[in-house]
A = this chain, B = another copy of it.
Amino acid sequence: MNNTFGNIFKLTTYGESHGIAIGGIIDGCPSGIILDFDAIQSELDRRKPGQSKITTQRKEADKVVFLSGIFEGKTTGTPIGFQIQNTNQKPKDYSHNDTVFRPSHADFTYQKKYGIRDYRGGGRSSARETANWVVAGAIAKQVLHQIAVSKNIAINAYTSSVGSIYLAKPYQDLDFSKVETNIVRCPDDVIATKMIDLISTIRKEGDTIGGTVTCVAKNVPIGLGEPIFNKLQAQLAKAMFSINAVKGFEYGAGFCSTSMKGSEHNDLFNADGTTKSNLSGGIQGGISNGMDIYFRVAFKPVATIMQAQQTIDNNGNIVTLKGKGRHDPCVVPRAVPIVESLTALVLLDFLLLGK
């Protein structure tokens, strides 16, 4: 279960940052789905490094190749094998890390757990793995859009804060078509500019900064999610905490609900079963109720900084580590398509499970 996500639409992945390739197998995709390969590649391009001045300059082509499960452009119901070559491997860049434990990275825990680690670029712990998720998520979106009951599902994520710069507007007041109009993926030009300026400053300092992504799923059919241990919100949370830098998750009124009264927080019904307010975030008892599902994901600042840090090596010697070359000052903009992808995977899985 450790490298597999989902119960019916199951993604199993492999791959290290600097191995030959990364890839995965999607098991449980319905047959007869017409795949738009350009759309899949577009999603991958949204995630890839090097796409703007405020992300890492590491460049990866990230071209996905499909090996099975598709015949004459349609899915056949058999497993979809796919692969992304690692074209930008420069193991030498990382050889200085071979015995050093980078602070707030997984080096130490991998070494202790496995007694061995592929130290090149973080190996399996690298965020490179998320490219696999985006491939699967892009397919999941297409499946959702071709299954009658979920055709008009719309999943939109965006950068809602960078450091202390928040997009205060509620999502209802935003135009999601503007998300891709700026490099920080914030659908408000003024706030976006401030965010970009902050990241640029942070970058020059050789430092990094955290932020949040908000995600909204509209037109979700009623009935997705299972009541007890497989609640819709629980599976969404689990999905989001699979992303390396995620430190928090809240949905609906989230942490704010803790200082509210029941009489304030309850969502009263309209006669048609919709609710007047939606502090519940579209989920009751673990099951979607047809209202918008929305949640917020907290990202810590990336651990790799271009400043000298004192650390230790495998032998417990104190050493000084200074990042060099490429770094990612803020992971949040690139996380937007990842959050959308995982959301699509969760929703599709429940849709297929509950059929």
Contacts and interface: CB of A to CB of B under 8 A. Distances in A.
B109 A284 contact: yes
A61 to B, nearest CB: 17
B269 A108 contact: yes
Nearest to A164: B259
A348 interface: no
A227 B1 CA distance: 11
A178 to B, nearest CB: 22
Contact of A67 (B19, B76, B208, B240): B19
Contacts of A101: 269, 273
A120 to B, nearest CB: 8
Interface string A197-232: 000001001011111100000000011001111110
Interface stretch (A2-10, A137-145, A183-191): A2-10
Interface string A20-43: 111111011001100000000000
A305 B262 contact: yes
Contacts of A262: 104, 207-209, 301-305
Interface string A254-268: 110111111111111
Contacts of A280: 104
A49 interface: no
Residue picked from A7, A10, A161, A234, most chain B C-beta under 10 Å: A234
A250 B253 CA distance: 15
Contact of A248 (B226, B248, B264, B288): B248
B244 A285 contact: yes
Given A77-B114, A309-B268, A1 B229 contact: yes
Contacts of A229: 1-5, 238, 242
A112 B124 CA distance: 38
Interface residues of A, number: 139
A247 B237 contact: no
Contact of A257 (B67, B74, B83, B301): B301
A316 interface: yes
Contact of A265 (B117, B271, B300): B300
B14 A227 contact: no
A268 B310 CA distance: 7
A125 interface: yes
A242 B95 CA distance: 43
A316 B3 contact: no
A78 B250 contact: no
Given A242-B234, A288-B109, A31 B74 contact: no
Interface string A285-302: 111110000000011111
16 contacts: A4-B4, A21-B68, A103-B269, A104-B266, A125-B227, A129-B228, A163-B258, A208-B261, A209-B262, A247-B258, A248-B257, A249-B250, A255-B255, A257-B298, A258-B298, A262-B301
Closest 10 CB pairs of A and B: A106-B285, A248-B250, A14-B81, A208-B262, A234-B241, A109-B287, A2-B226, A257-B300, A31-B114, A210-B258
